[in-house]
Structure 1
Amino acid sequence: MHEYGFSGLLSRENRSDLAPLTLASGQPVAGGEYTIKSGGYYRINIVADGSQELALSGGDFFRAIWINEIVIGDTEVRPMGIHSLEFDAEGTAVLSFVAVLPGRYTLSVPGSSGDTMQAVFNIQ
């Protein structure tokens, strides 16, 4: 039995920040694979430099997590689910989520074929 305190699982003290994902023309999306734990609370920045209109897609990944919120600028979005995030210009989206379903999942740039154009998440 866990004692999470007043805010429960979503308390800041329980959250782990992951290395950011980058959307930039000719640059790798991630520095390596992410290994996270089912039941863990995480936050990750998705940063676009505006060099090209780019998206990250990964319906399987998004179905394997519970999204707490996506913060874009001063706007907080609490979606029931998403399939992709697209950036038309420079900006940052902050995704906070709880990993739920163990497995290996990818977020990738649609239409790309290279390994550097994806982020791999291993949920244990």
Structure 2
Amino acid sequence: MRRALTALLCLAALPASAEGFGLAGVLSAKNRQDLPPIALSAGMPLADAPLVLKSGTYYEIEIIADGSAELALTGPEFFRAIWIDEIVIEGLEIRPLGLDSVEFDEAGTMEIGFLAIKPGRYVLQVPGVAGDLMRLEVSIE
């Protein structure tokens, strides 16, 4: 037990640059990627292509609603497979413990910063809409 504790303390003492990320570790600028936005618009696709993410990478994505209808975006399995750093809405920063869905009652933009964690295939979709039009597949590798 003492050896395991000593090994963990030694790893924690290593400079973050030894891991290749920089001083902020996985939250460093070297580990960040912007994703194409998700568009919430009545009867339109959410995105041009599925999202393929890498576990351990920090991502930022905008969700943009045009106000054509009151629309929600749900994906509880996806939201449990990531760690949400922050959600930004009109300059207000929210740091939630978890998320099931988001909803736009009118036009607006929301930015979500998150760390992809659990590999798998997930779906973000507008609830109550049949077919694949308002559905976005997300893979975490």
TM-score, normalized by the shorter chain, greater than 0.5: yes
The two structures have a TM-score, normalised by structure 2, of 0.84
Name segments (4+ residues, structure 1) moved above 4 Å: none
**Equivalent residue number for residue 9 of structure 1:** 26
* Aligned residue among 53, 65, 76 for 2:82: 65
SS state at 1:116 partner: coil
Which amino acid in 2 is paired with 1:9?
V
More strand by share: 1
Residue aligned with 1:82, SS: coil
Is it true that 1:122 corresponds to 2:122 in the alignment? no
- Work out the number of aligned pairs and report it: 124
Residue 40 (structure 1) aligns with: 57
Q: Which has the larger radius of gyration?
A: 2
Kindly indicate whether structure 1 or structure 2 has the higher relative contact order, using CA contacts under 8 Å at least 6 residues apart.
1
1:82 corresponds, among 87, 99, 103, to 99
Q: Give the alignment's Cα RMSD to 1 decimal.
A: 1.0
1:41-97 Cα distance to aligned partner (Å, 9 max, x none) = 111100000010001001000000000111001100000001000000000000111
* Residue ranges of structure 1 left out of the alignment (5+ in a row): none
- TM-score by length of structure 1 reads 0.95
- Contact 2:22-2:30 within 8 A present in 1 as well: no
- Structure 2 unaligned regions, length at least 5: 1-17
Percent identity reads 52
Aligned equivalents of 2:27, 2:76: Cα separation in 1: 23
